[in-house]
Amino acid sequence: MCSHSNDPHILCPQCDLLVTLPTLQYGQKANCPRCKSTLTTRWQEPRKRPVGYAISSLFMLLLANLFPFVNMNVKGLTSQITLIKIPQVLVSDDYSSIASLFMIVVQLIPAFCMVSIIILCGGVTLPRKWKIRIAWVLFHLKAWCMVEIFLAGVLVSFVKLIAYGEVGIGTSFIPYVLFCLLQVRAFQCTDRFWLWNQAVPAPVIAQPLRVGQSGLSQGLRSCACCMAILPVSQQTCPRCFSKGYARKKHSLQWTMALLITSMMLYIPANLMPIMITQFLGTKITSTIMAGVVLLWSEGSYPIAMVIFIASIMVPSLKMLAIAWLCWDANGRKKVDRERLHVVYEVVEFVGRWSMIDVFVIAVLSALVRMGQLMSIYPDIGALLFALVVILTMFAASTFDPRLIWDRSGIFETKEQLDGGK
Ligand SMILES: [Zn+2]
Ligand SMILES: [Zn+2]
């Protein structure tokens, strides 16, 4: 219980390098010496901490759903919404797809993840099989928690509305911000490597391990779910029972297929209107680019930049980057692996932030309902754009980053063999 892990070896899930973990002090993390990604972190009170954060975040989420979230006042007419009303308005506009997406990524998945952390770290008595399932789902859903992105979307919609009237925050707003911060902390404190080693000891490997070499060259693979080191020939992990292969199966084919689909959707997503604004009887439809131009002409330069970067630059660059990664993984050219890996990490991290514009539309169309005076409705472009973001996220997750490293040589420098602190 007291040691961080029984097995000091780890196969980097990002670059497939076999690393010996050093003895970590509290608060220290071990990074992969080759790709620099974090392998594991040693936390003080690794059980109480995440459980504490998760329980308080759930309490905040409950509070956030009870009271009005934001309000707006235009020429004496006041409109206020609760968090739960946002999807309801979208459903009444026949945009139940965006409403469900909103409910799932902003409330349901984060709440589920927090409950899972409480169950797994809090030592709740459940059959082991259940706990394994929960842990599997938890680490797969992590990227789909979009609480902080939604919050950024709310702030952007405030700036968009300032030109028309007074906007204010309701009683629920502060609890929601706290929920956002606490759930980020809860995730940070939950270390996957530690959690699995505590739940079930890692399976023993019969063959000698050669540290500083790739797993593939020694016939080993890292379990995609629990990070256990397994022989390539063993397809089902004895610890978490998930099936896996040395590399993600048909990784490039899947990534390319999802990428091409998202590229095809990206064109209509930019040409079709994402939102309809009714202001004093006139109806204005606006595309993503038109929204940016409008904000810029109104003088909201920072927000115009945020929307331009999140909705136009990031998706297009992300598609180019994924295409580049696929092309390189197929090729035989010698390139800078480290730089390519940074590209991959940026794509993985930044991609979800493109969802910001979809949330802005959700908030605007729920809040701005004042009949003829001013009303905002979502339009088909928003749905297409949300699909593009989802597809590119799947494309990035089906890409196997170890392919970037597979053709690079063996690691030679002695000091790099032990994981850096
Ligand atoms: Zn690595
Ligand atoms: Zn496993």
Rounded Cα distance, 242 and 111, in Å? 24
Ligand nearest to the CA of 12: 1
| Ligand 2 centroid – CA 133 distance (Å) | 11
pLDDT at 416: 42
pLDDT at 370: 83
| Ligand 1 centroid – CA 164 distance (Å) | 51
Rounded Cα distance, 237 and 319, in Å? 33
| Ligand 2 centroid – CA 7 distance (Å) | 15
Whether residue 196 is predicted with pLDDT greater than 90 in this model: the reply is no
**Please, are residues 226 and 197 in contact by the beta-carbon 8 Å criterion?**
no
Stretch 29-56: mean pLDDT, rounded?
Answer: 91
Stretch 199-216: mean pLDDT, rounded?
Answer: 86
Ligand nearest to the CA of 240: 2
pLDDT at 334: 66
DSSP string, 334-373: ---HHHHHHHHHHHHHHGGGGGHHHHHHHHHHHH-EETTT
Residue at 276 is within a domain: yes
| Ligand 1 centroid – CA 162 distance (Å) | 47
Residue at 182 is within a domain: no
| Ligand 2 centroid – CA 226 distance (Å) | 4
pLDDT at 383: 93
Nearest alpha carbon to residue 161 among 282, 65, 80: 80
Residue at 348 is within a domain: yes
| Ligand 2 centroid – CA 24 distance (Å) | 23
| Distance (Å) of CA 156 to CA 180, 274, 384 | 17, 16, 20
Whether residue 305 is predicted with pLDDT greater than 50 in this model: the reply is yes
| Ligand 1 centroid – CA 356 distance (Å) | 30
Residue at 73 is within a domain: no
Residue at 300 is within a domain: yes
pLDDT at 154: 92
Which one has a higher pLDDT value, 372 or 147?
147
DSSP H or E run through 266: helix 251-271
pLDDT at 413: 41
pLDDT at 110: 95
| Ligand 1 centroid – CA 32 distance (Å) | 4
Whether residue 246 is predicted with pLDDT greater than 90 in this model: the reply is no
Residue at 335 is within a domain: yes
| Ligand 1 centroid – CA 324 distance (Å) | 20
| Ligand 2 centroid – CA 228 distance (Å) | 5
Whether residue 2 is predicted with pLDDT greater than 70 in this model: the reply is no
Rounded Cα distance, 146 and 172, in Å? 18
Q: How many CA atoms lie within 13 A of 386 on its CB side?
A: 23
Tens-place pLDDT, residues 143-165? 899 999 999 999 988 888 887 88
| Distance (Å) of CA 415 to CA 3, 154, 420 | 24, 48, 9
pLDDT at 420: 41
Rounded Cα distance, 395 and 322, in Å? 8
Q: Which of 4-18, 27-41, 52-66 has the lowest mean pLDDT?
A: 4-18
Tens-place pLDDT, residues 101-127? 999 999 999 999 999 999 998 878 888
Whether residue 212 is predicted with pLDDT greater than 60 in this model: the reply is yes
Q: State the total domains in the chain.
A: 1
pLDDT at 22: 87
Ligand nearest to the CA of 341: 1
Residue type, 179: F
Whether residue 9 is predicted with pLDDT greater than 50 in this model: the reply is yes
Altogether, the residues listed in the chain come to a count of 421
Residue at 365 is within a domain: yes
| Ligand 1 centroid – CA 344 distance (Å) | 13
Task: Identify the CATH number of the domain in which residue 365 sits.
Answer: 1.20.140
Ligand nearest to the CA of 16: 1
Report the chain's mean pLDDT, rounded to a whole number: 87
Whether residue 421 is predicted with pLDDT greater than 60 in this model: the reply is no
Ligand nearest to the CA of 416: 1
Tens-place pLDDT, residues 255-300? 999 999 999 999 999 999 998 988 888 888 889 888 889 888 988 8
371: which 2 tokens?
């009949």
Residue 240 pLDDT grade (very low, low, confident, very high; cuts 50, 70, 90): confident
Whether residue 5 is predicted with pLDDT greater than 70 in this model: the reply is no
pLDDT at 415: 41
Ligand nearest to the CA of 136: 2
pLDDT at 140: 86
pLDDT at 6: 56
CB neighbour class for 55 (10 Å; exposed up to 12, middle 13-18, buried from 19): middle
Residue 376: give the domain boundaries.
248-408
Ligand nearest to the CA of 33: 1
pLDDT at 419: 43
Name 72's Cβ contacts closer than 8 Å, sequence gap at least 6: 78, 79, 80, 161, 165, 166, 167, 168, 367, 368
| Distance (Å) of CA 5 to CA 21, 109, 135, 252 | 9, 29, 18, 34
Residue at 269 is within a domain: yes
Q: Please work out, in degrees rounded to the nearest 5, the angle formed at the alpha carbon of residue 293 by the alpha carbons of 291 and 299.
A: 105
